[in-house]
Amino acid sequence: MKLYYAPGACSQSPHIVLRESGLKFDLEKVDLKTKKTETGKDYLTINPNGYVPALEIAAGDGLTEVPAILQYIADQAPAAKLAPANGTRERYTLQSWLNFIGTEIHKGFGALFNPATPGDYKLVAKAQLEKRLAYVDKHLTRNDYLMGGCFSVADAYLFVTSGWSSYVGIDLAQWPALSRFRDRVAARPAVRAALKAEGLLK
């Protein structure tokens, strides 16, 4: 497998999960401005939407979109217990969290990062995003991880997206449980290895 990524982008979550899984994989960095990969490929031939991540499973066989990629990786390494088994009630809970993070948190940051977003709308988007982070914080006051006591692919996604807060003027210190969660995840060897590989940790 090969993961196409950009440092610090949402592709960092499948990067973390690949390292947690123990599966063999390759990395290829993408320049999101030029849409070229580090080996000179036209990234638009890999993902026509032009954003990361993309997971090349085999030649000519790729997968895009974070929730799908995360679950695919988890299912290739069931012993790592990164996702509940397909068909179980717990798997649907995991999917609920992945959808919540993708639509309510990940996309919430999108408007704040976009320089074309009007200032008045950014205030509305920021307030909405803070409500969503507060909801997660409340859940984490009772649980070490989103699914309870064990790390899952949803935690990798939340860790990456919540980490963007400092870039848009949101102070996570107001949510102590979420802050503790981030410290807990950041200490994991696979997470540290992913950050180091992306040039974000010395």
pLDDT digits (tens, 9 = 90+) for 111-133: 999 999 999 999 999 999 999 99
Helix (H) / strand (E) element for 11: namely none
Is pLDDT of 59 > 90? Answer: no
What is the SS3 assignment for 58? strand
Strand-pairing partners, residue 63, are 55
Structure tokens at 137: 């914080």
Quote the pLDDT of residue 169: 95
Q: In terms of C-beta density within 10 A (0-12 exposed, 13-18 middle, 19 or more buried), how is residue 41 classed? A: middle
CB 3 within 8 A of CB 26: yes
**What is this structure's pTM?**
0.97
The class (CATH top level) of 89-188 is mainly alpha
CATH topology of domain 2-80+190-197: Glutaredoxin (3.40.30)
Query: Domains of the chain: which residue ranges?
Result: 2-80+190-197, 89-188
Which tens digit of pLDDT belongs to each residue from 161-192?
Answer: 999 999 999 999 999 999 999 999 999 999 99
Instruction: Tell me what pLDDT residue 202 has.
Output: 78
Q: Which residue has the tokens 């999101």?
A: 32
d(CA 86, CA 110): 30
The pLDDT score that the predictor gives to residue 186 is 98
Arithmetic mean of pLDDT, 99-113 = 97
**138: amino acid identity, one letter:** K
